[in-house]
Amino acid sequence: MNEEPRDGNSVSAAEFRVLKFTGLSGRRDGAMPTTIRYTSADLEALPDDGRRYEIIDGELYVAKQPKYHHQYTCGRIYKFLDNWIDGGGNGRAIVAPGVIFTDDNDVVPDVVWISAAQLRSILGSDGHLHGAPEIAIEVLSPGSANALRDRETKRDLYARRGVQAYWAPPD
């Protein structure tokens, strides 16, 4: 079987079909298809394959595992926040926490800062945050789809859900 050439950010047709039909709530009987709204339960059914899966307003977003420069930058931001916390900033810096705002808004910001009081309030027994951290930070990965997701889609979600500050590189 011949595979089409792929750039570094694409997903093969076979992989896409797997993602498209996992947790599908659409119709397969020939009737007019409905819009698929993914949920946190659908995320749990997806493979643990090194990709980052997020749901925003019921839409599934898939990104490749971040590379060195992205992770290095996240680490530096974490270190800066952690040093500030050690100097009296009462809270926690967390790298890539799962944040579940609602069943159809389940995301993974690159870094967050959350006050101790807010952490006690929204940390679930499943180890995910179930509410807004005070600060959410995204480090952009290459690609226009990634930039659009981080600069607009996630920004809008965080604003609606009560995140007080959102840091992402400007255009």
Residue 94, number of CB atoms within 10 A of its CB: 19
CATH number at residue 82: 3.90.1570.10
Check: pTM over 0.85? Answer yes or no.
Answer: no
Indicate whether 109 belongs to any domain.
yes
Q: 83-117 pLDDT, tens per residue? A: 999 988 899 999 999 999 999 999 999 999 999 99
86/58 same-domain check: no
- Per the CB < 8 A criterion, the answer to whether 159 and 130 are in contact is no
Total domain count, the chain: 2
Summarised one tens digit per residue, pLDDT across range 43-64 is 999 998 989 999 999 999 998 8
* Domain region containing 38: 13-63
